[in-house]
Amino acid sequence: MADDYDYDLFTIGGGSGGVRASRIAASHGAKVALAEEFRVGGTCVIRGCVPKKMLVYGAHFAEDLEDCEKFGWSIEGKSFDWVKLRDHVQKDIDRLNGAYTDTLENHDVEIFHERAEITGDHEITLASGKTVTAKYILVATGARPHVPDCPGHEHGITSNEAFHLDAIPERILIAGGGYIANEFAGIFNEFGSKVTIINRSDTLLRSYDESLRDRLLQISMMKGIDFRFHAEFRCIEKLDNGKLKVSMTNHDDMEVDCVMFATGRLPNTEGLGLDTIGVELGDKGEIKVDRFSKTNVDYVYAVGDVTDRVQLTPVAIREGQAFADTVFGSGDPVAVDHSCIPSAVFSHPPIAAVGMTEGEAKNQLGNVKVYISDFRAMKNVVADRHERSLYKMICDAGNDRIVGIHMIGPEAPEIMQAAAVAVKAGLTKADFDATTAIHPTMAEELVLLK
């Protein structure tokens, strides 16, 4: 390949989607180069899912240490050292960054550690001034945090900076009611911050089932997290003492040590030269693609968050794989199935879901059956922790098929991964009933629903 071009494939962006696509294309025999201006690994590995999950683990010790006396343990002089955890997490991120780089190099993917821009048909110019050509171009540049445009917004941080803080803020205000807001609210709260979430509406985690959202709100409040709804920023002012004074609609001013924006993410499409070759963008600046991740320009493809389809790492990886198999593999074109994708929010406690919410199922199917288990996990009972789990199964009343499962409670994401296989496979409530419980577990509730 690559007779008339320097490369068969040039990938812009070394995150989950870009790395998978490049590696697979190379394994199909393509000559591949990839440009990454920051660190190979992308949002998920460097400043997203992975370090966040490590902080979630760290945060959970707070409750385990609180509960441990009920299980007979006494620990004298326990204390928390944020800098130790932060640096330890970053050390592991360095390792992963190295592993992702090695993977590419082992597949003979040439890496340019610099910014790349499309400067003409099949032509890419690197920040160093070098110009190369490629038969195909894949844009996998991801997304970045959206920061509301209010006076003083520059005093706030986003999740990007949260991993590098010098100290845990005494009081933090987190803006937004989605994944990042709820996950970091749990993390900071367990580390001892006074956390306030402010949200423009009164709806948290909009895409999740209402009962779970209500349960998370109730438990979060019980744990000491404050919520201010229908609040939008008016301004953020830095005071002489270094603190931040936040003014917002419908609520009193607040003084805090840190403001963190978690108000959605915007596709990274600026400055890539997409307009130079006429790649079509959507309203949010996302790259518009067909089911094979192809743009309106025949040789340009895009995968992952930059397309704003489903902003989840495993989806970006699948899109990257499908692109590489379609364009460089020997078989039929592969399109990613974006239906019935399981997801989780690593809040305290976590939420996990697959398929339709009760509301969606009622709208789409009309007649549905809903099975609920509202219980206290054994560990919480022994620990005297008044925190109830909620599992919900939604079935199509016409044929008994399970169309959605929703869970909030300890280890819900771990349990959901297996349950999601059953929902994706179209199993019925009777199939779950026919499965013997593993006792005593939390997961057994799924096969005992009445």
Task: Compute how many other C-beta atoms are within 10 angstroms of the C-beta atom of residue 409.
Answer: 26
Instruction: Yes or no: say if 145 and 43 are a contact pair by the CB < 8 Å rule.
Output: no
Sole window of 75-83, 91-99, 171-179, 436-444 interacting with ligand NDP (rule: CB under 6 A): 171-179
- Closest approach of Cβ 263 to ligand NDP, in Å? 4
User: Rule CB under 6 A: which of 303-342 touch ligand NDP?
Assistant: 311-312
Rounded to whole angstroms, how far apart are CA atoms 180 and 143?
14
Position among 11, 16, 193, 199 found at the interface with ligand NDP (CB under 6 A)? 199
Sole window of 130-138, 257-265, 365-373, 375-383 interacting with ligand NDP (rule: CB under 6 A): 257-265
- Looking at the Cβ atoms of 317 and 344, the one nearer to ligand NDP is 344
Q: How far apart are the first and last CA of the chain?
A: 60
Mark 204-243 with x for binding to ligand NDP (rule: CB under 6 A) and - for no binding: --x-------------------------------------
Sole window of 325-333, 343-351, 419-427, 430-438 interacting with ligand NDP (rule: CB under 6 A): 343-351
> Which residue carries 């006494």 as its tokens?
74
- Closest approach of Cβ 145 to ligand NDP, in Å? 6
- Closest approach of Cβ 143 to ligand NDP, in Å? 8
User: Rule CB under 6 A: which of 104-163 touch ligand NDP?
Assistant: 148
Residues in the chain: 450
Please count the CA atoms within 13 angstroms of the CA of 443 that sit on its side-chain side: 16
- Closest approach of Cβ 315 to ligand NDP, in Å? 9
- Closest approach of Cβ 76 to ligand NDP, in Å? 36
- Closest approach of Cβ 435 to ligand NDP, in Å? 27
User: Rule CB under 6 A: which of 349-388 touch ligand NDP?
Assistant: none
Task: Compute how many other C-beta atoms are within 10 angstroms of the C-beta atom of residue 289.
Answer: 24
- Looking at the Cβ atoms of 217 and 300, the one nearer to ligand NDP is 217
Rounded to whole angstroms, how far apart are CA atoms 125 and 128?
8
- Looking at the Cβ atoms of 159 and 321, the one nearer to ligand NDP is 159
- Looking at the Cβ atoms of 16 and 293, the one nearer to ligand NDP is 16
- Closest approach of Cβ 259 to ligand NDP, in Å? 12
Closest CA to 60 of 387, 446, 422: 387
Tokens of 257: 């040590």
Handedness of CA 203, 206, 208, 209 (dihedral sign): positive
Partner residues linked to 373 by β-bridges? 391
User: Rule CB under 6 A: which of 26-55 touch ligand NDP?
Assistant: none
Tokens of 138: 């894949």
Phi then psi for 309, rounded to 5 degrees?
-85, -75
Per DSSP bridges, beta strands 110-112 and 251-256 are: unpaired
Sole window of 60-68, 110-118, 174-182, 397-405 interacting with ligand NDP (rule: CB under 6 A): 174-182
- Looking at the Cβ atoms of 183 and 325, the one nearer to ligand NDP is 183
Sole window of 18-26, 177-185, 274-282, 366-374 interacting with ligand NDP (rule: CB under 6 A): 177-185
Q: Would you give the distance in Å from CA 91 to the centre of its chain? A: 21
Residue number with the smallest Cβ distance to ligand NDP: 178
Rounded to whole angstroms, how far apart are CA atoms 110 and 444?
49
Position among 27, 125, 203, 326 found at the interface with ligand NDP (CB under 6 A)? 203
CA-based radius of gyration for the chain: 24
Position among 172, 345, 412, 420 found at the interface with ligand NDP (CB under 6 A)? 345
Which sequence positions are flagged as catalytic? 439
Position among 30, 45, 46, 180 found at the interface with ligand NDP (CB under 6 A)? 180
Sole window of 112-120, 124-132, 260-268, 428-436 interacting with ligand NDP (rule: CB under 6 A): 260-268
298 Cβ partners below 8 Å, 6+ apart? none
Rounded to whole angstroms, how far apart are CA atoms 386 and 145?
35
Task: Compute how many other C-beta atoms are within 10 angstroms of the C-beta atom of residue 8.
Answer: 21
Rounded to whole angstroms, how far apart are CA atoms 53 and 174?
18
- Looking at the Cβ atoms of 116 and 205, the one nearer to ligand NDP is 205
Instruction: Yes or no: say if 65 and 78 are a contact pair by the CB < 8 Å rule.
Output: yes
In the complex, the residues that contact ligand NDP under the rule CB under 6 A are 148, 176-181, 183, 199-201, 203, 206, 262-265, 311-312, 343-346
